[in-house]
Structure 1
């Protein structure tokens, strides 16, 4: 689509009086329609027009959250991804599988009204992903697994193969699956042929912080919910932001090399 392109262009005119026009427009972003309009109305005959188009890199942040811990992380991941020039990060949530009656009994807060639910086929539109979920006995929550199970048609065609993906999560405490949840989630990416992008130790000194409780690992960003009252700390949010930015940068590089 035309809206996916940023156009950097320059025009050289034999008439020196047009230098001010060149200076005014050089390096600006225009649609193809705008360039044609400028060309028609500018009043000079250009010697050449150079157009360089770069498609927007689309990153989808897809999460499931029951008590908002992962949602808070997801929004920070999205912010990090959107901080990369040329990247458009969109946040989505997977469908809920629990009934309203059960959710009410569990005193679950309302889902974020500003975050749409995603359908499996919509994954095709993204260049890269960050998947977030709470841990349930060392694996991703059933709602996230149900969503991946629903991607079988994409799996049959290997439609997501070669697309980079990172993961982030929430657990109750340090023995609740901070690494195991990530390790078991990698299988979903592997069967689709997606490229798993671990965080490594790119977060720097924050990875070695020992003076405060911090979730996450080399596999991705994480947080602790404890009894449900604990929310992601500033350090955990910084790590989430970094992961979003890091995965977005890699996604952008891969997209530019294949286009």
Structure 2
């Protein structure tokens, strides 16, 4: 049975959604089932996440735009509703990756990636970074860190990902499936 990978995101201007779709494409290409979910449905193709989606996934990719070095409140609000899963240990040992987007190079991407990691670690999830065998991590002039995939949207909030940002998104999606498959 193929791993089910929940790609969970919030996107205000489309950048994080574009990243989520690249990650989901990589999950599918790696032979797993991607479940694209969001905290707040804004478009007709958006599906809101449920606690059951989170409980029954085999791996998680979690993304949010940068808000002063932290996740968007919509994401935080959702995580604050997951105590039931925490009490049951429902997410323990599930692999996870994080991703984000900011308006500037120094807009808090790395701080946000670390902030996104905190509820996952509290739930006992296994946090995966981006290893340096991903060549684009060393060549990017925009987004991408060892902590997770990132995008620099610029002051015009462009959701157009660079080729390096897209490659890093695909690399984390593929790695997430690889680890989820090993753990399943």
Partner of 2:138: 208
TM-score by length of 2: 0.94
Structure 2 residue aligned with 1:192: 123
**Residue 247 (structure 1) aligned to one of 162, 171, 176:** 176
Structure with higher RCO (Cα < 8 A, 6+ apart): 2
CA distance in 1, matches of 2:10, 2:133: 25
- How far apart are residue 112 of structure 1 and its match? 2.9
- Aligned pairs (5 A) from 1:33-72: 55-72=1-18
- Tell me the distance in 2 between the aligned counterparts of 1:253 and 1:82: 17
| In structure 1, distance between residues paired with 2:127 and 2:77 | 20
- Is this contact kept in 2: 1:170–1:222, CA < 8 A? yes
Q: Does structure 1 conserve the Cα–Cα contact (< 8 Å) formed by 2:103 and 2:157?
A: no
* Cα shift at 1:238: 1.6
Task: Give the SS at the match of 2:109.
Answer: coil
State the partner residue of 2:22: 76
Structure 2 spans left out of the alignment, 5+ residues: none
How many residue pairs end up in the alignment? 183
Between the aligned partners of 1:169 and 1:198, the Cα distance in structure 2 is 13
Q: Provide the secondary structure at the position in 1 that maps to 2:65.
A: strand
Residue 90 (str. 1) matches residue 35 (str. 2): yes
Larger Rg belongs to: 1
* 8 Å contact kept, 2:8–2:36: yes
Aligned-pair distance for 1:184?
A: 1.8
* 1:238 equivalent in structure 2: 167
Structure 1 position 235, deviation (Å) = 2.0
Tell me what 1:167 maps to.
98
Give the Å deviation of 1:95.
2.5
Q: Aligned partners of 1:156 and 1:95: how far apart in 2?
A: 25
Query: For residues 235 and 112 of structure 1, do their structure 2 counterparts lie closer, same or farther at Cα, with a shift above 3 Å needed?
Result: farther
Residues 157-195 of structure 1 deviation map (CA, whole Å, 9 limit, x = unaligned): 111111110001001112111211111222111110111
Query: For residues 153 and 192 of structure 1, do their structure 2 counterparts lie closer, same or farther at Cα, with a shift above 3 Å needed?
Result: same
The answer (yes or no) to whether the contact 1:133–1:168 under 8 Å persists in 2 is yes
Provide structure 1 residue ranges, at least 5 long, that are not aligned to the other structure: 1-54, 97-110
Looking at structure 2, the residues matched to 59 and 172 of structure 1 have their Cα atoms a distance apart, in angstroms, of 28
Change (3 A) 1:84 1:172: same
Distance apart, 1:228 and its partner CA: 3.3
RMSD of Structure 2 on Structure 1 (CA): 1.4
